[in-house]
Amino acid sequence: FAGDGQRKVQVGYVVEAPIWKTSYRMVLADKEKPYLQGWAMVENPTDEDWAGVKMALVSGRPISFKMDLYNPLYINRPTVEPELFASLRPVTYRGGFGKENEERQALKDAVDGVEKSKKLQEQVRGRSEGLGGPAGKAAPAFDRNAFQGNDQDAKHARDLAAELGRRPNLGVAGNAATAGALGDFFQYTIDHPVTLGRQKSAMLPIVGKEVEGQKVSIYNQGVQKTHPLLGLKFKNTSGAHLNQGPITVFEGSVYAGDTRVLDVQPNEERLVSYAIDLGTEVDPQVGPGTQKITSVKAVRGIVTTKTKLTEEKKYRIINRSQTDRTLLIEHANRTNQQFKIIDTEKPVEDTPDVYRFQTAVKTGETKTFTVKEEKEIANSVTLTNNSDDTIRYFINLAEASPELKQQLTQALKVKESWDFSRRELTQVISDLQRLNQDQDRIRKNLRETPKEAEVYATYLKKLSDQEKEIDTLTAKQKKLMDDEFKARKKYDDYLANIGD
């Protein structure tokens, strides 16, 4: 330490401890609210007994990591490569403004005197309440023997240790624990000192309250195709955060099944299922889908049709049990596929994966619950790249406007000129190919026929006549190619300007 003279130093530390776990019991009754009991399972993995330890259990999921601060670190000079590539360096994030200066000032005030040390106590309180460790770890309070100093400093150390067990005055969550919020974390402060031997574990009650709930049957075709699951839709009215863990369910004094729950915030509703409902049967049936064109629009030669696709699914339900059932049907949520619910009762709840529809089924009743969904599909067709049949298809659509039908009909008339030019050009090309093949045959015969033969002169005359015919057809082909190009351009330009 810098400076002269002696001073008293207080040292505190945090010890790593195992994550504390939770287990619950849910008791269901016909005329009473469900009763929820919860226990925290803590462990003492150390080689020292815990005697009269003040304990707080903190739930949350802070980011935690290990860093080597013991071994010396050296910064190596990087090897510079010739301009070949540039790589990214790991990203780090700086802290917020002001907090570092506040902590330094708090430490300075603690050194200045006992009176100013109260401010340090407020700063340390937040840390002592977090001694449960990351992700719900449990840890004992500060070791009182770790503090050395005069009577006043020793009293201050005892006050700090007592902070861990102080009740936050937020209401009792159970017979042995008090629940309180710590920003984004939640704390259970054990009301009585805990004594736990080394290498031992204990179950500490943290919650014991009635909660709001309703017995339901939950049907999901992907979980059980025939039968729903017996379950409970409960609201966490205990006032405490419920850590994830298993739940053992009792109906009265009879074991009903086991389930598991994820983290539940205060006043949050959650579904749990614990057994198969053999008294209720569900038969899912996919109905016939329908497609109907709702509109036809054309813009610059591109025709866009909008088609409404409707799908239907029926759930046939039979309740053979001796009690009425409230059935929750989990139906796939396909909003990412642009499907929306129509002509169906509004779901009581929806998640990113499923809609939940609720329906009452009396004992012995058979009923059908229908879910209808629809989506709109848009298809675009470029007329210049399609045949006459495509144009006639749009002309015959009842959803097409009279103006569009008239333009498409006129387009077919314009196309007749192009079709005529193409047919003429095709015929000329065919005649030229025929003449060329015939000339090849005549030239072959001339090579094998004596010049004195009478037929030799006939071949020469025929070859000469065909040359004149080829010249005529070649000129006609050139003209027809020009006409065909103009006719096609006229047709394409007309199609490109079609619109309604």
pLDDT tens-digit map of 282-299: 999 998 889 999 999 998
Q: Measured over all CA atoms, what is the biggest interatomic distance in the chain, rounded to whole angstroms?
A: 146
Higher pLDDT, 36 or 167: 36
124-152: average pLDDT: 40
418-439: average pLDDT: 91
446-475: average pLDDT: 88
Confidence category of residue 30, pLDDT binned at 50, 70, 90: confident
Confidence category of residue 146, pLDDT binned at 50, 70, 90: very low
Query: Would you give the DSSP letter of residue 243?
Result: P
The predicted-structure confidence for 81-97, as pLDDT tens digits, reads as follows 776 544 444 433 333 34
Measured at the alpha carbon of residue 213, what is the angle toward residues 210 and 218, in degrees to the nearest 5? 145
d(CA 328, CA 356): 6
- Residue 7 burial (CB count, 10 A): 8
Q: Where are the domains of the chain?
A: 284-385, 408-496
pLDDT at 182: 53
Higher pLDDT, 107 or 481: 481
Among the residue ranges 148-162, 213-227, 414-428, 443-457, the one predicted with the least confidence is 148-162
Per-residue pLDDT at 110 exceeds 60: no
The predicted-structure confidence for 322-350, as pLDDT tens digits, reads as follows 999 999 999 999 999 999 999 999 999 99
d(CA 367, CA 468): 88
Q: Give the DSSP letter string of 357-378.
A: EEEEE-TT-EEEEEEEEEEEEE
Look up residue 198 and give its amino acid: R
The predicted-structure confidence for 236-281, as pLDDT tens digits, reads as follows 999 888 989 999 999 988 999 999 998 898 999 999 999 999 999 9
Buried b (16+ CB within 10 A) or exposed e, 321-344: eeeebebbbbbebeeeeebebeeb
Across the beta sheet with 325-332, the strand order is 269-276, 229-235, 212-220, 325-332, 354-361, 349-350
d(CA 59, CA 185): 6
| Terminal-to-terminal C-alpha distance of the chain | 87
Share of the chain above pLDDT 70, in %: 80
Per-residue pLDDT at 105 exceeds 70: no
Look up residue 457 and give its amino acid: A
Share of the chain above pLDDT 90, in %: 48
The predicted-structure confidence for 412-423, as pLDDT tens digits, reads as follows 888 888 889 989
pLDDT at 159: 56
The predicted-structure confidence for 166-194, as pLDDT tens digits, reads as follows 433 333 334 466 665 555 577 888 888 99
Per-residue pLDDT at 497 exceeds 60: yes
The mean pLDDT value of the chain amounts to 81
The predicted-structure confidence for 358-406, as pLDDT tens digits, reads as follows 999 999 999 999 999 999 999 999 888 778 888 999 999 999 999 999 9
